[in-house]
């Protein structure tokens, strides 16, 4: 067996085709975590927990973009499921333009297929604008998520008409799929101190 | 002050009902204005200072039913992006269509819309519109004042007070800024105010940017919630 | 035939309904108890443009025609009959006389302030000796230089207590009788010699002010004659046609409200183990009430439409007034019965509807007069 054929056999065994690799520019999950007074908020940690479940279903990597808190928060995020914590150049307090720039450039640099956010006043302000800037879709107010691993799709279940109906939404083509959870969705995951991950300082 | 209001026509929930067999909402009467957009209109009326208020919406032939009440409240005119290509869009596509329509209608000092809709509890349109128009924005505004070229406002939720220089986009929290009852004269006048039809072509937009073709998010199905 | 209401009519209806629910209904009992409509409510009604609904915009009106006016009165009829009478006496008879037959000069002089509600109008025809026999009026208007001098009194005048502008019918030439001897004149309450009697205490519509008006050498410029001297009776008849139509619409509103209250009550009142709405006796009462209301509604709006088309509607207006007033009485009576004891108690609005309804068969021309109008037209035409 030549080296090439071994590589091909390996790729076939892992279900990867060369074409797919170049076509699929977007891979992995990005969870946006907000800090309050230097601490990652509970809502963000809950979102991380939801994100980790999705990442596992996809067999994908999960990175956390940390806004409003510092590097000291990274270990807690890694132990709760982050494969990497990204630290952008952005002010600690919410500033619409600066945080938008940080989120958009993080997405452009890391190319996640899913961007997951908790449901907060800040994300309501931030996420739609970021999605518009990136020319992609946002499923907002999702009370439940479902991973469709074959399609690498996240289906969001959103209450409609004040809860009289539930709608199943998906963003089938454009990437990343932005998803903002409804308030009080998910639970803060427990820590696994054996988990490892990296800390990445993003350029300005 | 020239103010643009973005309106979403929504089903009249007072008469609509949920079909258990189809898991869908069945509408039984005309479309109505999204309540938060009416609150936005009320805020616009308090800020207009003798200027123009124009309403923009993407919709079909059912849309004028929702536009007339805003004209009766005091808006001067309305623009309706009603060609077929613009229908069935999501927030991404609609924001592009509305931004183009607003730009085409001239320079506005303020663009207002509801912070949420009767359909989806969490609104996306405002910030998307701001991005498409290249303007600063603020969400969940409960009250606002204009001073020169600055708008200062209070917001619901944790973001508190703030200010932006005009032109800017504000989304208005429902429940505040109660829309005034139109009086009989403005009701009669509303029928004569223009609702201008705007086509996708006039907006210089590619068909794949708007409507169902331009939508990123699709509603796959609706179902009843678990009891 | 297109029986749909226009968009404006629908919006007028929605607006009036909201106003009625928020501002009028909560005060209905107080208006009845205190026998007075609060000035704040009247001010709000002005702001809403309620005082100028049918009149053309060029005179300061809303321009909604008779149809729009009937829509507004119907919705108001659901809330308070006293408020309806205030509005109707001002609009469909008080101001309408000037609107229908006044010269352009006279119309521009009085209509703007009346349409805005800044001034309230009344219609003064009835006297002690002249009720159904309107031709027997004795109030005189004698020419003197550039004026007419009015002497006499009027009885049971709606809005008599607050009216600023009164359309008064007086004899200008006794020898000519009704055909050419009666004129309509506009009297302002500020004119010397004009005075009002105390408010009458009534069975119903207690919030609407009703009183005697006295004219002692009241000088009125000749330019205040509505139309031509001697044509007053014709003006009165034309104006009353309009009033009768709209009275029908107000009855429709009251009927619908009574039905809604009755259905609501019957759905909740449990006797003999189930809500009484399951009992056939109650169901048949409600069915009759609903069918009758449909008839009232259909005839009132059809006649209003005919009026707006410029068709002559004297017979139809009389039929509307007669049928709707008598039918409403029956509907309200059944509503009381469905409510049982509760229907008799002042804690509940039904008894107010019952008392308020009775006047409809009497004022704006008694139902006997309406029958006279219809019969005389039939006999003159020789057929329907």
Backbone angles phi, psi at A115, to 5 degrees: -115, 120
B216 vs A94, A158, A174: nearest CB: A174
User: C11 vs B72: CB contact, 8 Å cut-off?
Assistant: yes
Does B226 map to a domain? no
Answer for the pair A129, A99: CB distance below 8 angstroms, yes or no.
no
- Give the tokens for residue B22: 């189809």
| A7 has pLDDT over 60 | no
Per-residue pLDDT at A17: 47
Is B26 touching A (CB cutoff 8 A)?
no
Question: Tell me, what CATH number does B54's domain have?
Answer: 3.40.50.620
Does B124 map to a domain? yes
Say how many C-beta atoms besides its own lie within 10 A of residue B227's C-beta.
3
Contacts of A168 in chain B (CB under 8 A): 219-223
- Give the tokens for residue A12: 């076939």
Q: CA C184 → CA A18, C122, C234, C324, distances in Å?
A: 98, 12, 9, 29
Q: Residue B210: which of B221, B222, B198 has the closest Cα?
A: B198
**3-state secondary structure at position B104:** helix
| A2 has pLDDT over 60 | no
* Range B138-152 average pLDDT: 96
For chain C, which chains pass the contact test of at least 3 CB pairs under 8 Å? B
Say how many C-beta atoms besides its own lie within 10 A of residue C24's C-beta.
23
CA-based nearest distance A170→chain B, Å: 6
Q: Of the residues C66, C351, C364, C368, which is catalytic?
A: C364
pLDDT of chain C, 384 residues: tens digit per residue: 788 899 899 999 999 999 999 999 999 999 999 999 999 999 999 999 999 999 999 999 999 999 999 999 999 999 999 999 999 999 999 999 999 999 999 999 999 999 999 999 999 999 999 999 988 999 999 999 999 999 999 999 999 999 999 999 999 999 998 889 999 999 999 999 999 999 999 999 999 999 999 999 999 999 999 999 999 999 999 999 999 999 999 999 999 999 999 999 999 999 999 999 999 999 999 999 999 999 999 999 999 999 999 999 999 999 999 999 999 999 999 999 999 999 999 999 999 999 999 999 999 999 999 999 999 999 999 999
Does B54 map to a domain? yes
Per-residue pLDDT at A18: 44
Per-residue pLDDT at A23: 38
Is B195 touching C (CB cutoff 8 A)?
no
Q: CA B98 → CA B69, B187, B205, C30, C347, distances in Å?
A: 20, 26, 11, 50, 53
Per-residue pLDDT at A19: 42
**3-state secondary structure at position B209:** helix
**Tens-place pLDDT, residues B204-214:** 999 999 999 99
Q: Is C105 a catalytic residue?
A: no
Say how many C-beta atoms besides its own lie within 10 A of residue B160's C-beta.
10
Is B185 touching C (CB cutoff 8 A)?
yes
CA-based nearest distance A152→chain B, Å: 15
- Give the tokens for residue B72: 């009766």
Locus of tokens 């001697």: C230
For residue A176, is the peptide bond before it cis, meaning its omega torsion is within 30 degrees of 0? yes
Answer for the pair B182, B190: CB distance below 8 angstroms, yes or no.
yes
Q: How confident is the model at residue A21 (pLDDT cuts 50, 70, 90)?
A: very low
Answer for the pair B213, B85: CB distance below 8 angstroms, yes or no.
yes
Q: How confident is the model at residue B29 (pLDDT cuts 50, 70, 90)?
A: confident
**Are A and C touching by the rule of 3+ CB pairs within 8 Å?**
no
Per-residue pLDDT at A8: 53
Answer for the pair C171, C139: CB distance below 8 angstroms, yes or no.
yes
CA-based nearest distance B17→chain C, Å: 21
Domain ranges of chain A: 25-201
For residue B167, is the peptide bond before it cis, meaning its omega torsion is within 30 degrees of 0? yes
Q: Residue C328: which of C256, C221, C226, C222 has the closest Cα?
A: C256
Q: For the domain A25-201, what is the CATH code? A: 3.40.50.620
DSSP C65-79: HHHHHHHHHHHHHTT
- Maximum separation of any 2 CA atoms in chain A, in Å: 62
User: A121 vs B140: CB contact, 8 Å cut-off?
Assistant: yes
Does B24 map to a domain? yes
Answer for the pair C39, C53: CB distance below 8 angstroms, yes or no.
no
User: A168 vs B222: CB contact, 8 Å cut-off?
Assistant: yes
For residue B53, give its domain range: 3-214
- Give the tokens for residue C330: 């029956």
Per-residue pLDDT at B194: 93
Does B220 map to a domain? no
Per-residue pLDDT at A3: 46
Per-residue pLDDT at B191: 83
Say how many C-beta atoms besides its own lie within 10 A of residue B120's C-beta.
20
User: C49 vs B68: CB contact, 8 Å cut-off?
Assistant: no
Domains of chain C, with CATH numbers? 7-119 (1.10.540.10), 122-229 (2.40.110.10), 234-381 (1.20.140.10)
Q: How confident is the model at residue A22 (pLDDT cuts 50, 70, 90)?
A: very low
| A16 has pLDDT over 60 | no
Does B81 map to a domain? yes
| Cα dihedral across residues C225, C230, C236, C239: positive or negative | negative
Backbone angles phi, psi at A93, to 5 degrees: -95, 150
Answer for the pair A68, A203: CB distance below 8 angstroms, yes or no.
no
* Range B131-147 average pLDDT: 97
Per-residue pLDDT at A12: 59
User: B219 vs A168: CB contact, 8 Å cut-off?
Assistant: yes
**Tens-place pLDDT, residues A92-124:** 999 999 999 999 999 999 999 999 999 999 999
B25 vs A136, A165, A169: nearest CB: A165
Answer for the pair B130, B98: CB distance below 8 angstroms, yes or no.
no
Does B96 map to a domain? yes
| A5 has pLDDT over 90 | no
Per-residue pLDDT at C2: 83
**3-state secondary structure at position C224:** helix
Domain count, chain B: 1
Does B41 map to a domain? yes
Per-residue pLDDT at A24: 63
Q: How far apart are CA B102 and CA B110, in angstroms?
A: 11
Contacts of A135 in chain B (CB under 8 A): 92, 216
Per-residue pLDDT at B221: 92
Q: Residue B224: which of A148, A138, A157 has the closest Cα?
A: A157
CA-based nearest distance B192→chain A, Å: 32
Q: What value, to the nearest 5°, has the Cα angle with vertex B41 and ends B136 and B181?
A: 165
Counting DSSP H helices and E strands in chain B, the numbers are 6, 14
CA-based nearest distance B185→chain A, Å: 33
Q: How confident is the model at residue A11 (pLDDT cuts 50, 70, 90)?
A: low
Is B14 touching C (CB cutoff 8 A)?
no
* Range B32-41 average pLDDT: 96
**3-state secondary structure at position C144:** strand
Nearest residue of A to residue B210, measured between CA atoms? A135
C204 DSSP β-pair partners: none
| A20 has pLDDT over 60 | no
Q: How far apart are CA C47 and CA C12, in angstroms?
A: 14
Nearest residue of B to residue A144, measured between CA atoms? B225
The alpha-helical segments, DSSP class H, found in chain C are: 7-19, 28-34, 39-47, 65-77, 81-88, 96-101, 104-116, 178-181, 232-268, 280-308, 314-339, 350-357, 367-381
Backbone angles phi, psi at A79, to 5 degrees: -65, -20
Q: CA A79 → CA A66, A76, A82, A194, C177, distances in Å?
A: 15, 5, 7, 7, 106
Q: How far apart are CA A166 and CA A155, in angstroms?
A: 12
| A131 has pLDDT over 80 | yes
Q: Residue C322: which of C381, C366, C272, C257 has the closest Cα?
A: C366
Say how many C-beta atoms besides its own lie within 10 A of residue A170's C-beta.
20
């Amino acid at each position: 067996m030549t080296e090439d054929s071994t590589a091909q056999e390996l790729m076939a065994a892992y279900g990867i085709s060369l074409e797919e690799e170049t076509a699929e520019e977007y891979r992995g999950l990005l969870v946006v975590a907000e800090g309050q007074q230097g601490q990652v908020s509970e809502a963000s940690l809950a979102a991380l927990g939801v994100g980790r479940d999705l990442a596992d279903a996809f067999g994908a990597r999960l990175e956390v973009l940390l806004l409003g808190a510092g590097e000291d928060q990274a270990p807690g995020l890694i132990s709760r499921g982050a494969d990497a914590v990204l630290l952008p150049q952005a002010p600690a307090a919410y500033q619409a333009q600066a945080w938008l720039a940080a989120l958009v450039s993080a997405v452009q640099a890391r190319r996640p297929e899913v961007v997951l956010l908790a449901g907060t006043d800040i994300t309501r302000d931030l996420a739609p604008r970021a999605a518009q800037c990136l020319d992609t879709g946002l499923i907002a107010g999702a009370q439940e998520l479902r991973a469709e691993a074959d399609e690498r799709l996240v289906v969001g279940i959103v209450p409609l008409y004040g809860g009289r109906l539930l709608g199943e939404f998906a963003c089938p083509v454009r990437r990343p799929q932005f998803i903002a959870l409804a308030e009080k969705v998910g639970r803060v995951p427990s820590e696994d101190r054996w988990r490892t991950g990296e800390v990445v300082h993003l350029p300005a | 002050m020239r103010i643009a209001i973005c309106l979403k026509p929504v089903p009249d929930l007072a008469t609509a009902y949920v079909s258990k067999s189809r898991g869908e909402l069945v509408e039984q009467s005309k479309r109505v204005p999204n309540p938060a957009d009416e609150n936005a209109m009320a805020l616009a009326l308090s800020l207009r200072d003798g200027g123009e208020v124009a309403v923009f919406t993407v919709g079909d032939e059912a849309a004028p039913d929702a536009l007339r009440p805003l004209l009766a409240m005091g808006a001067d005119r309305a623009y309706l992006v009603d060609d077929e290509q613009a229908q069935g869009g999501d927030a991404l596509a609609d924001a592009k269509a509305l931004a183009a329509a607003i730009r085409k209608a001239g320079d506005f000092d303020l663009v207002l819309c509801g912070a949420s809709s009767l359909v989806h509890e969490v609104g996306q349109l405002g910030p998307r519109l701001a991005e498409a128009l290249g303007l600063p924005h603020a969400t969940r505004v409960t009250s606002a004042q204009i001073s020169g070229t600055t708008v200062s406002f209070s917001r619901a939720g944790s973001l508190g007070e703030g200010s932006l220089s005009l032109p800017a986009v504000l989304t208005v929290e429902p429940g505040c800024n109660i829309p005034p009852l139109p009086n009989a004269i403005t009701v009669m006048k509303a029928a004569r105010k223009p609702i201008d039809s705007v086509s996708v072509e006039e907006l210089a937009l590619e068909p794949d940017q708007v409507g169902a073709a331009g939508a990123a998010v699709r509603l796959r199905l609706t179902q009843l919630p678990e009891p | 035939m297109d029986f749909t209401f226009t968009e404006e009519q629908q919006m007028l209806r929605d607006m009036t309904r909201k106003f009625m629910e928020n501002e009028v209904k909560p005060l209905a009992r107080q208006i009845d108890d205190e026998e007075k409509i609060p000035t704040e409510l009247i001010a709000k009604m002005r702001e809403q443009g309620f005082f100028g609904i049918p009149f053309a915009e060029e005179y300061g009106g809303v321009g909604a025609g008779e149809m729009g006016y009937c829509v507004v009165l119907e919705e108001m009829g659901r809330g308070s009959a006293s408020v309806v009478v205030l509005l109707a006496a001002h609009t469909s008879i008080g101001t309408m006389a000037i609107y229908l037959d006044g010269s352009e000069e006279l119309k521009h002089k009085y209509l703007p302030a009346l349409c805005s509600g800044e001034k309230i109008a009344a219609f003064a025809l009835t006297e002690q000796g002249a009720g159904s026999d309107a031709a027997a009026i004795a109030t005189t208007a004698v020419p003197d230089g550039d004026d007419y001098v009015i002497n006499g009194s009027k009885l049971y005048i709606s809005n008599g207590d607050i009216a600023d502008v009164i359309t008064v019918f007086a004899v200008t030439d006794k020898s000519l009788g009704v055909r050419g001897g009666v004129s309509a004149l506009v009297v302002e309450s500020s004119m010397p010699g004009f005075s009002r009697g105390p408010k009458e205490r009534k069975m119903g519509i207690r919030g609407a002010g009703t009183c005697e008006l006295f004219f002692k050498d009241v000088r009125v410029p000749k330019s205040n004659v509505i139309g031509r001297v001697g044509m007053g009776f014709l003006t009165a008849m034309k104006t009353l046609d309009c009033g009768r139509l709209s009275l029908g619409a107000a009855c429709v509103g009251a009927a619908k409200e009574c039905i809604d209250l009755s259905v609501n009550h019957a759905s909740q009142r449990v006797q003999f183990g189930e809500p009484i709405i399951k009992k056939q006796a109650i169901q048949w009462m409600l069915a009759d009430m609903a069918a009758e209301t449909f008839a009232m509604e259909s005839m009132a709006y059809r006649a209003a439409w005919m009026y707006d088309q410029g068709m002559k509607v004297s017979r139809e207006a009389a039929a509307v007034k007669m049928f709707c007033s008598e039918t409403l009485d029956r509907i309200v009576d059944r509503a009381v019965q469905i409510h049982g004891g509760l229907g008799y108690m002042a804690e509940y609005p039904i008894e107010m509807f019952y008392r308020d309804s009775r006047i409809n068969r009497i004022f704006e021309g008694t139902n006997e007069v309406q029958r006279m109008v219809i019969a005389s037209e039939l006999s003159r035409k020789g057929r329907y």
